[in-house]
Amino acid sequence: MSVNEDSPKDRRNDAIAGAAILAIAIVFGAAALREPPAHYDPLGPGTVPLAVSIALGIFGAILLIRTLLGLKVGQAAQSVISGLSLDDPEVDYKLRPGLAAFTYAATAAYVGAIALGVPFVLSTFVFLAVVGVAMARLRRPLMWWVIAAAGAGTYVIHLLFVKILMVSLP
């Protein structure tokens, strides 16, 4: 087996990933084992999940062992989500991981507000305005454009989904 060419950061991530996958496989495998057999069905509800859990556990263990032994694991060469790397030397502007975390938290809060019964139109306007202003970094006149767009966007979304597409909104 070849010597590890993965970076130390990759190795650390791989070790965590291997352990996490092994844990997921054990949890799902144990749950699959508890599934009762089904009459008139040669497989039953638990067989396929159990088989997949075992295979996943084996691959997870291989990943963990290879990483711990310092052997090459390899990294996906093709990225579906672009722009996650925080150490790209070609980037000549300030990266905003904190803003990304805030945006995710605000999205979760928005969903929570809807789940608690806050009216969709109100919660959508507040969400669009707050996240938009944060992304505009309170710069004027962009900030005022963002707030105006939040109002217009809320109206258009409501019109589009409720009146035109007839989708039931939360």
Burial class, 150, CB count within 10 angstroms (exposed 0-12 / middle 13-18 / buried 19+): buried
Report yes or no: 154 and 128 within 8 Å, Cβ to Cβ. Answer: yes
Among 11, 19, 26, 72, binds another protein (CB under 8 A): 72
Among 8, 82, 87, 89, binds another protein (CB under 8 A): 82
The answer to the question of residue 169 lying near another protein (CB under 8 A) is yes
| Beta carbon of residue 29, minimum distance to another protein (angstroms, whole number) | 10
The answer to the question of residue 141 lying near another protein (CB under 8 A) is no
Other C-beta atoms closer than 10 Å to the C-beta of 111 total 13
CA distances from 81 to 20, 58, 77, 143 (A): 21, 27, 12, 28
| Beta carbon of residue 8, minimum distance to another protein (angstroms, whole number) | 14
Residue whose entry in the numeric block shows the structure tokens 């905003």:
96
* Range 2-31, binding another protein (CB under 8 A): 2, 10, 13-14, 16-17, 21, 24-25, 28, 31
| Beta carbon of residue 147, minimum distance to another protein (angstroms, whole number) | 10
The answer to the question of residue 64 lying near another protein (CB under 8 A) is no
| Beta carbon of residue 89, minimum distance to another protein (angstroms, whole number) | 15
7-37 burial string, b = 16+ CB within 10 Å, else e? eeebbeebbebbbebbeebeebbeebeeeee
Number of residues that bind another protein (CB under 8 A): 86
| Beta carbon of residue 1, minimum distance to another protein (angstroms, whole number) | 7
Among 11, 19, 26, 62, binds another protein (CB under 8 A): 62
Report yes or no: 146 and 132 within 8 Å, Cβ to Cβ. Answer: yes
The answer to the question of residue 113 lying near another protein (CB under 8 A) is no
